[in-house]
């Protein structure tokens, strides 16, 4: 990627991304989430045919300098991709968006408020980020973020968008300018939740365990003993070695996702995995076998010095609820491998707050920003009330005056 100035850089909104190999992505975008890279976004377009790729791209002399990923939805689809969900709305089915705390402000029914506004207030909708990766960040030159937001907001509204939502902005270095630019166009920021990651600061996995607080060290060692006695076998299937098992992995993933209000379907998961294999990404599948039967899986992508854990799934009918497999499969084995390869970070995503903390994870806040074509006074009050309820549900302090929801959330900025 090339850096650019206002005089030499062209910004275009509502387009697809130029082709980029995985090796080119690693070189040009080493710190970008895999979910926001060209390989994952191409696969998303195949997985979600009703979501039109609508990216904002900055180029200099014909070369890519930066972009903000987006997908255009003409009508309501799954609740995860519905802008109304980020105002606390629930469809008649009772589904909630991924990673929602389930907290609701006292004395307010968000669903009634939003239903009263009508679906036409929100659709067509532009969702910024990766709908199947649950991430919103800008890629490339940070100096171009404000200019790209200017262009995407103007172009989206000119093309009939009724809402623009950046649902999943993590509190990492470099993301505040994206929030500021969206807020500058009338957006309102709200605290959405937390995700969990593990800095790998020791020299080896054994040193890592030894350095944990005593309670966490006891928990991790108990995980080791339980797995040793379980009779399960965990195999790591890299790249093409995972292909014969993708359908089963997708099914297991969706068993787990449905348990935690996820709305991906097996064909969504399989399409993403096939796309990443086609791109020759560093895709790993940790597969747990009971005899010859695949009973648990955890999908990860290595990018740069980070191991990003995305999807896990288990056959609960065969395993029951207390098999002792969960932690060895989704934490122990991936972290052991990450240390063996010299990686410095493992990403575990949202959910399971206490069990992740007990094994050495730390939290990072997630914010959403909502822009409506027609400002509705009740929306700001509703979003503020929702953010406060979510913080209270996670036992976080209220946002202080002058702080943003993003940066007030607990966690570092890795």
CATH of the domain at 61: 3.40.630
Identify the CATH number of the domain in which residue 255 sits.
3.40.630.30
What's the confidence (pLDDT) of residue 395? 82
pTM of the model: 0.91
Non-local (6+) Cβ contacts of 225 within 8 A are none
Cα gap 67→218, rounded to integer Å = 45
* CA distance from start to end of the chain: 22
294 and 378 assigned to the same domain: no
Residues 29 and 175 reside in one and the same domain: yes
Could you say which DSSP state residue 19 is in? P
Q: Domain for residue 274, yes or no?
A: yes
Q: Is the domain of 231 the same as that of 161?
A: no
Residues 189 and 205 both lie in one domain: no
Q: Evaluate whether residue 291 is within a structural domain.
A: yes
Nearest to 372 by CA among 125, 138, 190, 10: 125
209 and 181 in a common domain: no
**Sheet-wide strand order for 52-53:** 52-53, 70-73, 125-128, 163-170, 362-372, 188-199, 345-350, 306-314, 293-303, 283-290, 233-238
How many structural domains are present in the chain?
Answer: 2
Does the residue 353 lie in any domain? no
Q: What integer pLDDT is reported at residue 413 of this predicted model?
A: 38
1 occurs within a structural domain = no
Are both 216 and 314 inside the same structural domain?
yes
Evaluate whether 273 touches 42 at the Cβ level (below 8 Å). no
Q: What is the per-residue pLDDT for 408?
A: 41
In a domain, 40, yes or no: yes
Residues 152 and 233 reside in one and the same domain: no
Same domain, 184 and 52: yes
User: Which residues, 6 or more positions from 218, have their beta carbon under 8 angstroms from its beta carbon?
Assistant: none
Q: Do 242 and 273 contact (CB within 8 A), yes or no?
A: yes
- Helix (H) / strand (E) element for 388: namely helix 377-393
At residue 405, the pLDDT reads 53
Counting as low any pLDDT under 50, the low residues of the chain are 401-402, 406-414
Digit-coded pLDDT (tens) for 158-199: 999 999 999 999 999 889 999 999 999 999 999 989 999 999
Q: Are 251 and 266 in contact (CB under 8 A)?
A: yes
Domain identity same for 58 and 186: yes
Are 251 and 188 members of one domain? no
- For residues 381 and 121, what is the distance between their CA atoms, to the nearest angstrom? 17
The pLDDT score that the predictor gives to residue 389 is: 87
In a domain, 357, yes or no: no
The DSSP code sequence of 21-38 is: -HHHHHHH-TTS-GGGSH
| Same domain membership, residue 288 and residue 173 | no
336-372 in b/e form (b: 16+ CB < 10 A) is: bbbbeeebebbbbbbbbbeebebbbbebbbbbbbbbb
Q: Which domain holds residue 262?
A: 201-343
């Amino acid at each position: 990627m090339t850096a650019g100035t206002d005089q030499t850089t062209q910004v275009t909104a509502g387009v697809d991304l130029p082709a980029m190999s995985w090796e080119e992505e690693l070189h040009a975008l080493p710190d970008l989430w895999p979910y926001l890279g060209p390989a994952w976004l191409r696969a998303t377009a195949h997985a979600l045919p009703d979501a039109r790729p609508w990216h904002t791209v900055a180029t200099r002399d014909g070369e890519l300098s930066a972009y903000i990923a987006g997908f255009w939805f003409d009508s309501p689809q799954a609740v995860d991709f519905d802008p109304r969900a980020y105002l606390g709305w629930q469809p008649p089915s009772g589904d909630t968006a991924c990673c929602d705390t389930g907290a609701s402000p006292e004395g307010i029914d968000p669903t009634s408020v939003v239903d009263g506004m009508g679906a036409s207030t929100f659709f067509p909708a532009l969702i910024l980020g990766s709908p199947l990766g649950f991430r919103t960040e800008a890629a490339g030159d940070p100096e171009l973020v404000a200019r790209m937001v200017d262009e995407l907001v103007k172009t989206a509204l000119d093309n009939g968008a009724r809402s623009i939502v950046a649902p999943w902005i993590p509190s990492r270095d470099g993301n505040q300018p994206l929030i500021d630019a969206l807020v500058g166009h009338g957006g309102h920021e709200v605290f959405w939740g937390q995700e969990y990651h593990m800095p790998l600061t020791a020299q080896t996995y054994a040193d890592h365990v030894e350095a944990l607080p005593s309670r966490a060290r006891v928990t991790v060692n108990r995980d080791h003993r339980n797995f040793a006695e379980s009779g399960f076998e965990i195999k790591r299937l890299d790249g093409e070695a995972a292909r014969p098992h993708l359908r089963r992995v997708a099914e297991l993933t969706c068993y787990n996702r449905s348990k935690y209000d996820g709305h991906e379907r097996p064909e969504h998961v399989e399409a993403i995995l096939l796309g990443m294999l086609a791109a020759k990404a560093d895709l790993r599948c940790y597969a747990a076998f009971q005899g010859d039967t695949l009973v648990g899986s955890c999908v990860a992508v290595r990018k740069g010095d980070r191991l990003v854990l995305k999807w896990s799934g288990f056959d609960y009918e065969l395993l029951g609820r207390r098999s002792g497999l969960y932690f060895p499969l989704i934490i122990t084995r991936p972290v052991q491998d990450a240390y063996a390869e010299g990686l410095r970070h493992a990403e575990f995503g949202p959910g399971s707050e206490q069990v992740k903390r007990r094994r050495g994870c730390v939290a990072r806040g997630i914010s959403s920003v909502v822009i409506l074509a027609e400002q509705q006074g009740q929306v700001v009050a509703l979003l503020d009330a929702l953010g406060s309820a979510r913080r209270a549900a996670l036992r976080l302090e209220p946002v202080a005056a002058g702080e943003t929801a993003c940066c007030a959330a607990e966690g570092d900025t890795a």
